[in-house]
A and B are shown apart, each in its own frame.
Chain A
Amino acid sequence: MREFEYVRADEIGQAVATVTADPAASYLAGGTTQLDLMKDGVLGPERLVDITRLPMRGVAREGGTLRVGALTTMEELAADPTVAGRLPLVRQALLLGASVQLRNMATIGGNLLQRTRCRYFRDPTVPACNKRSPGTGCAAVTGAARMHAVLGAGRACIALHASDLAVALVALDAVVHVQSRDGTRSIPLTGFYLLPGDTPDRENVLAHGELITAVDIPLPPEGTRSGYLKVRDRASYEFALASAAVALILDDGVIREARVALGGVGTVPWRAREAEDVLRGAPAAAPAFLAAAEASVRDPFTVPGTAFKVELAKRTLVRALRTVAEAS
């Protein structure tokens, strides 16, 4: 691991000023991605600003919104009574991710900013990675790509965004609150992530030094039913091959409102608005579920290792829709 200077921040403004002023500085929160990538030599910050003592922790209900401090851990958010009662898809997405130990460490802000698990990105001895070293190519497109993306992907990069939580949160139109040296701004999570295009090294709209302070989750109307289905190679403690976050409002067997997002298949957490359009107004039954699944996976970019994911994602969504619709 490269040497770095450790700084413990006591105040948000001071932390933001320190990182903003130094291009080689990074924030340290739960550390589960940051330290792992530093050990691997993928990240090499010269200064690490520990933000874990900053007052950005806890969950508070403000009217129809749940405000989640960025340093709230995954376990803490999963245990929140409002999350358990009103946001089953969020609770399930949280508890199906990582392990209890990691969820006790990993923060909500860090979860949204987690880096891809692409093994080529994570191995600096592999020369070709446009995300790690822009312009060098992509080893994954001709490599072992079972854990890679088919939506939003292209020749330059097929790295998957592996967060489960972010999939549930894009379905719910969550909003990210950010602090910079110049002030604060709020960014809809659906507009937070950037498709790789020709610049896979740019993953989101944050400028260097901008700090996530909180995430707002709008509570869906009473009576909304929701769930998160994760399909993977082992029963627990594994990343998704495909996943679906679904929220439905049913009225006498007809779908009044639908929210759909896919995980395990996108370079970014994938909101499937086309599927929502198909579902809205349709009877909650197999024909609509199948049509929504077809609409959700349009224009995939596949390589031999990922081709199976197109069908898997559709079947995952159909099962998630059926499960949520049939739940009493």
Chain B
Amino acid sequence: MTRTPDNRPHLTVTLTINGEKRELDLDARVTLLDALRDRLGLTGTKKGCDQGACGACTVMADGRRVLSCLTLAAQCEGREITTIEGLSADGALHPVQEAFVRHDAFQCGYCTPGQVMSAVCLLTEGRAGSDADIREFMSGNLCRCGAYPNIVAAIRELAGDGDA
């Protein structure tokens, strides 16, 4: 923790984003979301409500889904952060992204990166046992276009054994 010439609290943070170490000089107030979007150019992660209510900013920290809008960038030092850009390499789509395309699981697309990150984690958590479970454990991701039935269908296809 240092101070800038005009006496503002300031710190240097090393973040590991999608496997790559990035060093940033930050105001302590900068959230992980703003660091990703405004400092690192990773604009796939969306700013929806900026108050922890919508899920558009969902990323993974050490493999768990969290909200980047309520996480300080400074808190993430030493943690493995994965964003939508880090889901797959070389521009290929992740299977969850392919399923979203197949099932038309979005309209405007603004919530989609958060939905996809959440769905990837949901499948890893083993919580896609039924449509009711998918709805419950995806409830932290709002979709103002109302693409919910198709989002559930996309996840169900990947889960395989969900009720139809």
Contact = CB atoms under 8 A, between A and B. Distances in A.
Interface residues of A, number: 28
A105 interface: yes
Interface in B100-142: 118, 121-122, 125, 135-137, 139-141
A104 B64 contact: yes
Contacts of A298: none
Most buried by B among A8, A39, A100: A100
Interface string A74-96: 01000000000000000000000
B74 interface: yes
A32 B74 contact: no
Interface stretch (B35-43, B51-59, B86-94, B151-159): B51-59
Interface string A98-137: 1111101100000000000000000000000000000000
Contacts of B141: 99
9 contacts: A3-B8, A3-B27, A3-B29, A6-B9, A6-B11, A6-B74, A50-B75, A104-B66, A105-B66
A18 interface: no
B139 A237 contact: yes
A236 B9 contact: no
Contacts of B61: 104
A101 B55 contact: yes
A51 to B, nearest CB: 10
B147 interface: no
A39 B121 contact: no
A31 interface: yes
Interface in A58-88: 75
A236 B142 CA distance: 11
Nearest to A98: B140
B75 A52 contact: yes
B46 to A, nearest CB: 14
B66 A101 contact: yes
A100 B9 contact: no
A7 interface: yes
A25 interface: no
A6 B71 CA distance: 13
Interface residues of B, number: 34
A212 interface: no
B75 A31 contact: yes
B28 A48 contact: yes
A269 B90 CA distance: 52
Identify the interface centre among B31, B58, B66, B122: most chain A CB within 10 Å of its CB: B66
Nearest to A73: B64
Interface in B56-79: 58, 61, 64-67, 70-72, 74-75, 77
A105 B139 CA distance: 16
B25 to A, nearest CB: 13
Per CB-CB distance, the 8 closest pairs between chain A and chain B, nearest first, are A99-B140, A236-B139, A6-B28, A237-B139, A104-B64, A5-B9, A101-B140, A101-B67
Given A5-B28, A52-B75, A101-B118, 5 more contacts: A32-B67, A100-B140, A105-B66, A235-B139, A237-B139
Given A105-B66, A237-B139, A50 B74 contact: yes
A29 B125 CA distance: 24
A4 interface: yes
Residue in B31, B118, B136 whose Cβ sees the most chain A Cβ within 10 Å = B136
Nearest to A30: B70
A244 B119 CA distance: 31
A102 B29 CA distance: 20
A28 interface: yes
B1 interface: yes
Given A102-B140, A104-B64, A31 B70 contact: yes
Given A28-B75, A105-B67, A36 B52 contact: yes
A1 interface: yes
Nearest to A122: B51
B124 to A, nearest CB: 11
A104 B125 CA distance: 12
Contacts of A3: 8-9, 27-29
Given A4-B28, A35-B31, A39-B51, A102 B72 contact: no
